[in-house]
């Protein structure tokens, strides 16, 4: 089995500035992600930050599998939540032979000033 990991940390203040720009939001986040982040007033920037860190961490974890990384975009990674709140990450609208049968697991955490993400990518 091949296993790779990726991790990332981000300052919430940085994401707060960035998400005030609609162009940034639409370049980075999918419609489902925006809808989740906008659904809570208090934690909005932590949710955006966690998903940004989650995308960076995912890219780090899958980069060794990618055969055409230059074609990969932020919105090819989508992070959603199951009913119990557990996050899940999927690669969407992107075909790459190297990603066939790759499984992903993600974990997110945030406090007032920081968000972190950890991703594992594995393939039999």
Ligand X SMILES: CC(C)(COP(=O)(O)OP(=O)(O)OC[C@H]1O[C@@H](n2cnc3c(N)ncnc32)[C@H](O)[C@@H]1OP(=O)(O)O)[C@@H](O)C(=O)NCCC(=O)NCCS
Q: Which is nearer to ligand X, 65 or 110 (CB)?
A: 110
Identify residues 69-98 at the interface with ligand X (CB under 6 A). 81, 84-87
Q: Which is nearer to ligand X, 42 or 67 (CB)?
A: 42
- What is the C-alpha to C-alpha distance for residues 87 and 74, in angstroms, rounded to an integer? 17
- What is the C-alpha to C-alpha distance for residues 43 and 32, in angstroms, rounded to an integer? 16
Burial of 122 (0-12, 13-18, 19+ CB in 10 A): middle
Stretch (H or E) spanning 9: strand 2-11
**Binding-site string for ligand X from residue 17 to residue 56, where x marks contact by CB under 6 A and - marks none:** ------------------------------x--x------
> Which residues, including other chains, have CB under 8 Å from residue 90's CB and lie 6 or more apart?
77, 78, 80, 104
Q: Which is nearer to ligand X, 66 or 121 (CB)?
A: 121
Closest to 59 measured CA to CA, from 24, 20, 89: 89
Q: How far is the CB of 67 from ligand X (least distance, A)?
A: 30
Q: How far is the CB of 6 from ligand X (least distance, A)?
A: 16
Residue nearest to ligand X (CB): 85
Q: Which is nearer to ligand X, 5 or 64 (CB)?
A: 5
- The site for ligand X (CB under 6 A) is made up of 47, 50, 81, 84-87, 108-110
């Amino acid at each position: 089995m091949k296993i790779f990991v990726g991790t990332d940390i981000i300052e919430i203040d940085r994401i707060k500035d960035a998400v005030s720009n609609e162009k940034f939001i639409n370049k980075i986040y999918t419609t489902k992600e925006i809808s989740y982040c906008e659904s809570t007033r208090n934690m909005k920037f932590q949710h955006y930050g966690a998903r940004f860190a989650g995308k960076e961490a995912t890219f780090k974890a899958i980069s060794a599998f990618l055969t055409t990384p230059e074609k990969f975009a932020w919105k090819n990674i989508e992070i959603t939540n199951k009913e119990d709140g557990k996050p899940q990450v999927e690669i969407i609208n992107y075909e790459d032979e190297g990603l066939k049968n790759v499984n992903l697991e993600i974990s997110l955490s945030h406090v007032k000033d920081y968000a972190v993400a950890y991703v594992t990518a594995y393939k039999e």
